[in-house]
Amino acid sequence: MTETDPAPRFVLVVEDEPIIRMNAVDMLEEAGFEVLEAGNADVALKLLETRAHEIAALFTDIHMPGSMDGMALVALVAERWPHIRPFVTSGHTTLRNTDIPDHGRFLAKPYRSAQLTAVVGEAFG
């Protein structure tokens, strides 16, 4: 980012289950966040390649189809775009926050709107 770039303002939600993704997007938008969405890591990477400077937070499921899972995506984002704060979710795996790079956070499914917006809000505050 350069000094002329605006502050990152988007949350990128990466979730392969359309209903769950839609719910997460709705929760975040209702809380006032601007949201981009992707159905897997491959689509997310295409967005990141062109819009990473606009993205402040990544909220991704761990288990997804495609070339990489959510943890591989988080590792790549931490390496290439360290300004993006990672948030990871799963209904099948439990992680400690210390397992996620760049001061990331884990949020177990099912999560409530207040939980999601509180943790993602950390990337903007």
Instruction: Read off the CATH number of the domain in which 89 is found.
Output: 3.40.50.2300
Q: Residue 5: inside a domain, yes or no?
A: no
The structure tokens 């769950």 sit at 20
Hey, what are 88's tokens?
Answer: 């990871």
How large is the average pLDDT for residues 66-76? 96
pLDDT at 30 over 50: yes
The CA angle 100-103-109, to the nearest 5 degrees, is 55
Instruction: Please state the φ and ψ torsions of residue 123, each to the nearest 5 degrees.
Output: -75, -15
Its domain, for residue 30, covers 10-121
Hey, what are 77's tokens?
Answer: 């984002």
How large is the average pLDDT for residues 81-107? 93
Q: How many domains, in total, are found in the chain?
A: 1
Q: Residue 3: inside a domain, yes or no?
A: no
The whole-model pTM stands at 0.93
Q: Residue 40: inside a domain, yes or no?
A: yes
Query: Average per-residue pLDDT in the chain?
Result: 93
How large is the average pLDDT for residues 28-56? 97
Strand partners, 38: 14
Q: Which tops the pLDDT comparison, 83 or 1? A: 83
Q: Residue 41: inside a domain, yes or no?
A: yes
How large is the average pLDDT for residues 68-80? 97
Q: Residue 2: inside a domain, yes or no?
A: no
Q: Residue 92: inside a domain, yes or no?
A: yes
pLDDT for 7 = 74
Q: Residue 1: inside a domain, yes or no?
A: no
Q: Residue 58: inside a domain, yes or no?
A: yes
